[in-house]
Each structure stands twice: as C-alpha cells, then as structure tokens.
A and B are shown apart, each in its own frame.
Chain A
Amino acid sequence: MKRKKEAGSSRRDCLKILAAAAGGVAAGVGGAKLVGRLGAPPSGPWLVLTQSEADLVDLVTEQIIPADEFGGASAAGVVNFIDQQLSGPYREQTQSYRAGLKRIEETSREMFGRVFEALQWDEQTRVLQALESGKASKKIWSDQDAAGFFRMVCDHTMQGYYGSPKHGGNRNYVSYRMMGLEYPRVIGQNRYDSV
C-alpha cells in the first residue's frame, strides 16, 4: 500500500500546470480542462506525524475511502491533509491521534497477532469495525473512546478527500472528477452547460 516516493516531481508538474493554464486562457476555453495531473502526494516530510504514524494513517484512511477506478484516500493525500491540519486548526487533536494510532496497533495485535500494516485488507476492515461498533477491547481503549476516535478520523478523511486541494488532500481534484463536478472554479469561465 505504501506510496512510491517521487522526489522532485511536484515542482516540474506545477510548471506544466501553469503552462497548460496559460494555454487554456489564451485559447479561450472553459475552466474544466485547465489542470494537468500531479504525481502521487509527497510521502513526507511530515509536520506533526512521525513516519510510522503517517504510514498507519495512510492505511486507515484508505480503508475509509478505498481506491476503485478512482483513487482512494491514499492517492488523494488524505494523510497529507491530516498532518497539515494537525499543525493548525486541529492541533488540539494531535494527542488523540498519537494515542489512538497506538491503540489501533494494539487492537490489531490483540485481534490478529500482527500490527495493522501486516494485516490483510479484510482483517484491517474488521479492526476498524471493532472500533466503530465499540466492540474493541475496553482494556486497550480504557481512557479513550474508540468509536469517537474512529468517527473523528472518518470525518477528517472525508474532509481531506472531498475538500479543497489547497488543504493538502483531494489531489488532482480526484473526488470532484469522480462525482462529475466542474473543477476548478474559475469565476466567469465555467460554462454551466445546463443553463
């Protein structure tokens, strides 16, 4: 599941986008085709998470929004979104993430004898279902609400995948493309085909 590191590629891709955008405006076309494609989201450096925490968040969020013919949370950079927000608006949730991620590993070991990263897809799903349903070990989750933690991660994953790319997620507007929404919005240039 781990992403390949593509060091140095994002800058080149940005330049490509700028060129495409300039060409698009000069040719007078609508907004929908202005954006080129970036590569995979960067795998660090992280602002708040450790590398192993980031790897785990990447796996957990991919369970929440898996890839199909459209990329999932991992390709959309949801972990990048979460890391970025933990250094800003969600900084008060950092401790909750640290503790909750450790407990996911413990729950995983208790249920299947292995860390989360080593589990099969369906086993990972069952660990998260245990959290969600409140059936995860009360000994492990003694002073943290497993269901509440999972709900929070789930909501942050939705924000990262479906929110604006400027916050670190929704890479290449993957969710907008999937839902068939025009992107990006260019004031005065979108065509509103249905009007």
Chain B
Amino acid sequence: MSNKHVNAIVVGAGAGGGVVAKVLAEAGLSVVLLERGRWQNFHDTGDDELISQRSPKLTRAPGPENKPSRKAHEFDNGSYGVVTPNNVACVGSGTVTYGAQAWRFMPQDFRMKSIYGALDGSTLDDWPISYEDLEHCYDRAEWEVGVAGDDTANPFAGQRARSRPMPAFPYDREAQLLIPGMQRLGWHPFPIPMLRNSIPYGGRPQCIHMRTCCGYACPVNAKCGTQNTVIPAALATGLCELRTDAVVSEVMVDDQGRASGVKYFDINDRLQEQSADLVVLSASASGTARILLSSKSKLFPGGAGNNNDWVGRNLQGHCYVGAFGLMNEQVYEEAGPGASVAFCDFNHGNPGLHGGGMLANDFIIMPYSFTHQRPAGAARWGIAHKKFQREQYKHFIRVVGPVQEMPVFDNRVMLDPQKRDYWGIPLLRTSGTKHPHDAEIGQFIAGKAEQLLQEVGAKSIQRSAPSPASRRSAGGGQHQAGTCRMGDDPKSSVTNRYGQLHGIDNLFVADGSLNVANGGFNPVLTIMALGFWVGEYIAREWRGGGRFRT
C-alpha cells in the first residue's frame, strides 16, 4: 500500500511532536503525525489510584493495544533484564496525565560548563543556545498551550518578555504553612507555574481541583496538554493528518544521505512506508535514539547521525529528593491537587556543587501510596501501620524536587543485540551508572527540605535521597533526556543548534533528547519550547527557499 507523499512526518504526538506538528501545519506544510498509542481520556483511568500513572500497579502505561512494550534494562547490581517501561504512548503522551508543572529552565542551566567547569567522568557542557534564544519559545508554549503562574516573587527566574496568560493558583494549606518557614530562613517562595487552567482558557474550563491530578487525565480538560491544545490546532489547519497505532521502526535514509521517509507498523501490524520531504523525531529521549540507531544506511551504517557514536549517549533523568514530616495540625484538604509553592534558592550557587534543584510541596498522596510513607522504624503492617494510616494521613507533608543529573557518556540507550519486540524491532536497552555527584547534590537538596520541615515544626522527619556510595543504574527514569545532544561540533553532538542532524539536512529531533543538561526542574515546558524552536527553524528555511525539498 502506498501512502501519499507529504512535506513533513512528525514521529510522536507528545510534548515536542504536538508542538512541531502545529508550527509546520500553520506554516503551510502538509504533515503526517505518527503516534504509536491512541487517544486517551479520563474515562480510561478515572480516579483509580491503582491504574494511575502515579502508581500503575494493575495496568501498564497506555500504549499499543495488547502488545506489551518492553525494554532491556541494566539493574543497580549490574545485571540485565527485560522490563516494561513506564513511558506513556498516547495522543499527548505524558502531557495527558502529568502533574503539569510548567518550569522554564534558568539561564544558568544552559551554561553549566562555563559556570562550573568540567567535572571528571561527566560530559557536562553548555547548550549551543541560551535562555535568551529560547525565551520567545517558552513564551509561545505558555500562551499556546496555557500556563498559570507568577514570577514576581522569584528573584532567580530568567527575564521574560511578558507575563503568563493566566494568574497563579492560590496557595493551598500546606503552602500557607510552609511559606513563613521559608521566609524565616531567608528563602523566596512563589507559586508553582502550572500547565493548568486557573481561569477558563483556550475554550476549556478552569480547574475543579481534583485530588487525583498528577498521574491522571483531567475529567474536564482543565489541564493543558498537547492533546487538547496544539494538536487540535494542527488538525484544524486541514494540513495535518494524525495516525494513531503507528509504531515507527526506522527512518529511511537514501544513499545520498537524505531522509526519504519512515517505515512503521500500522494498527494491523502491516509494515507501511511514508515518504516526506523531511522527518522530525519527537519520540522521547529513549524512543528517538532507538529509531535513529535502527535506521542503518550506506552512509550511516551505525544508525542515522551516529557516525561519531553520540546517538543514545548522555542519558539523563531526574532523581527526586526531599523529605517528609508530620505536622500537629491537619494540612490535608480535599481540594487538590497539592503542589502549590516552590523555591529556587538552591538551583545554583551551592558551594562545591555543579548545580542543584528546585524544591516544592508535593502533590496529594493517595491512600495506597501513603502505605509506603513511614518514618524509619515505623511498623510496615499490623494494627500500628493501620493506625498511622488513619491518624497521620492528613498531617503528612512532603517537600521534594528533581535534582540536576550530571551527563555521563556511557549512560546510554542502545539496541539490544539479541532481543526483539513484538514487531521484530530490536529492544531498546538502557545501561550505565549514574555519576556519584548526583547523589551529593541530592543529599544537599534533601537537607534543605529537611531544614524547612524542622523550621515549621514537623515531627518524625524522614529524608529521601540516594546515598553517594550506592551504585545506581542510569535508565533515565522520569524526565529522560539528553540522548541526541545539540551542539556546534559534530564530533561531540548529534544535532546542530536547531535540532537538525549533523550530516542529514532533512532529519530533525524535537524533544528532550536535545537537552545538553536537564536542569533542576520538570523539563516538559522546555521540551515544548524546543518544539517551537525546531519548528520555527524548519518553517523559516522552508519559506526561504525550499531547502528540504527532494
């Protein structure tokens, strides 16, 4: 079966790909947007904790129906095994069920090597672009997807051209309790920016404050993902066709070193070919690297763009660290979703550390997940465990955040040499060991969370951060990034500053794979901004002379 040739193929309808599809379709290009999952909505999961993305016990992440997604993973003890990854595959991807924290990286996050210098065992470097370069793309993400927030009280935020389109959410009870403590410590609390409607916006209603939000789809579409914003906008142009249940196996690269299209398996597992003038990969830091590595051709025998062996390297994620404690007074409120106040006093400038991380109060923890939250020495079962569950649930407070991970060359996504998935595509394999400095940063940041909880009078405080001595496998975990680093030098990066592959002019990457360093923040708004950044470049070049036309 032959598919009609189009101008652009975008692989992956998530945070990056949804944005790129919109930008290209609005620029007049015909676009096919390929997504391996399907549409997903509230009714698929409801407010059921055991099948939420926060604690998926009785389900796996949404993906191709009845065809379990698998990957080979290196465990902490150094052995390999096949596991089911948590990566969501659906229209909107993780933006359907995320907690929706809408962070811009700080200007320093783009200049890590200039600020901190090299670090032994790490490929830490500067991005080839600056915060200022990306600022207007952050702005577009905030306005075209929708962000509520206010930076006036955050002295560490980068400059912005204008405010966000929606006012910040009011502080919740936990925030009101924590803020005086932060102020006494000389820190700078401010409301967490959220991709969630604090007022009606974009034709969708305002937030109804479900306690089940992070990990769940929104029943009234008040959470702003690509599935209810930029993807419908792309479809509305009439130029973008969304094909779900499409599992891309490789990019076809011809003998002249140009991408001619992609191969994918359709809903009936038939192999399809789709040709295009250009291809954009937005399949996540693991998925995009895997597709590139699978795309072998005459000029790129080790995978597209991989002649210098950088594809799949520098896999980063985020280790969440922090502390919890118990308050005398009730801090719980029925109105969700929690996660209300943050401070950025320790993202940078920490003595002896290459970076740091943001800290915030956490999303409401649901009853089953709470069964694992106990101070050291507390009963894990029996009547004492049950009593703790009853008496302390509404007094539990947790302050957490994602800390910078140091990129390591051997932390990587590769193809498993033997194992193949349902479609015969080599399994993605993650391997490598986290840099020990991550745990040092983590311990420092967790110590700040502990200090804050002490300041506000919490009891039974329990710190959560990895021990610097422990071996921890890379794997990416949540917020995976970095596997197709952007850079000016083809010998030490995969794409140029516009996400264009070194050596393949009409093949692009637009997702977290590009991140040189992954910041001490949830990266989704940066991924959306990169979607605008790459999309705008393609549209500009396209209008300027049809450079990518075959």
Could you tell me the distance in whole angstroms from the C-beta of B357 to the nearest C-beta in chain A? 29
**Known contacts A167-B50, A192-B335: A180-B173 contact under CB 8 Å:** no
Count chain A residues whose beta carbon lies closer than 8 angstroms to a beta carbon of B. 38
Task: Name the residue on B nearest A153 (C-beta).
Answer: B381
Question: Which B166-190 residues sit within 8 Å CB-CB of chain A?
Answer: 173
Which of B245-253, B389-397, B416-424, B452-460 forms contacts with chain A? B389-397
Could you tell me the distance in whole angstroms from the C-beta of B207 to the nearest C-beta in chain A? 11
Query: Could you tell me the distance between the alpha carbons of A185 and B208 in the complex, rounded to whole angstroms?
Result: 12
Could you tell me the distance in whole angstroms from the C-beta of A64 to the nearest C-beta in chain B? 4
B49 and A68 form a contact (CB under 8 A): no
A162 and B382 form a contact (CB under 8 A): no
A43 at the interface (CB under 8 A from B): no
B371 at the interface (CB under 8 A from A): yes
**Known contacts A158-B371, A188-B208: A68-B50 contact under CB 8 Å:** no
Query: Could you tell me the distance between the alpha carbons of A100 and B173 in the complex, rounded to whole angstroms?
Result: 45
A178 and B334 form a contact (CB under 8 A): no
A18 at the interface (CB under 8 A from B): no
Query: Could you tell me the distance between the alpha carbons of A18 and B352 in the complex, rounded to whole angstroms?
Result: 64
A134 at the interface (CB under 8 A from B): no
Task: Name the residue on A nearest B370 (C-beta).
Answer: A162
B383 and A68 form a contact (CB under 8 A): yes
Could you tell me the distance in whole angstroms from the C-beta of A186 to the nearest C-beta in chain B? 10
A45 at the interface (CB under 8 A from B): no
Could you tell me the distance in whole angstroms from the C-beta of B278 to the nearest C-beta in chain A? 42
Q: Which residues of A contact B387 (CB under 8 A)?
A: 68
Count chain B residues whose beta carbon lies closer than 8 angstroms to a beta carbon of A. 34
Q: Which residues of A contact B48 (CB under 8 A)?
A: 163-164, 166-167
B378 at the interface (CB under 8 A from A): no
Binary interface profile of B, 52-67, with partner A (CB < 8 Å = 1, else 0)?
Answer: 0000011100000000
The one of B59, B385, B393 that contacts A89, using a Cβ cutoff of 8 Å: B59
B386 and A65 form a contact (CB under 8 A): yes
A187 and B381 form a contact (CB under 8 A): no
Could you tell me the distance in whole angstroms from the C-beta of B390 to the nearest C-beta in chain A? 5
B173 and A194 form a contact (CB under 8 A): yes
Q: Which residues of A contact B220 (CB under 8 A)?
A: 187
A28 at the interface (CB under 8 A from B): no
Could you tell me the distance in whole angstroms from the C-beta of A31 to the nearest C-beta in chain B? 11
Task: Name the residue on B nearest A61 (C-beta).
Answer: B381
B394 and A180 form a contact (CB under 8 A): yes
Binary interface profile of A, 142-180, with partner B (CB < 8 Å = 1, else 0)?
Answer: 000000000000100111001110110000000110111
Binary interface profile of B, 194-213, with partner A (CB < 8 Å = 1, else 0)?
Answer: 00000000000000111010
Top-3 shortest CB links A-B: A162-B367, A194-B333, A158-B371
B interface residue numbers (CB < 8 A to A):
46-50, 57-59, 173, 208-210, 212, 219-220, 333-335, 366-368, 370-371, 380-383, 385-387, 389-390, 393-394
**Could you name 10 residue pairs across A and B whose Cβ atoms are closer than 8 Å?**
A65-B385, A162-B368, A163-B57, A164-B50, A175-B389, A178-B386, A178-B389, A179-B389, A193-B334, A195-B334
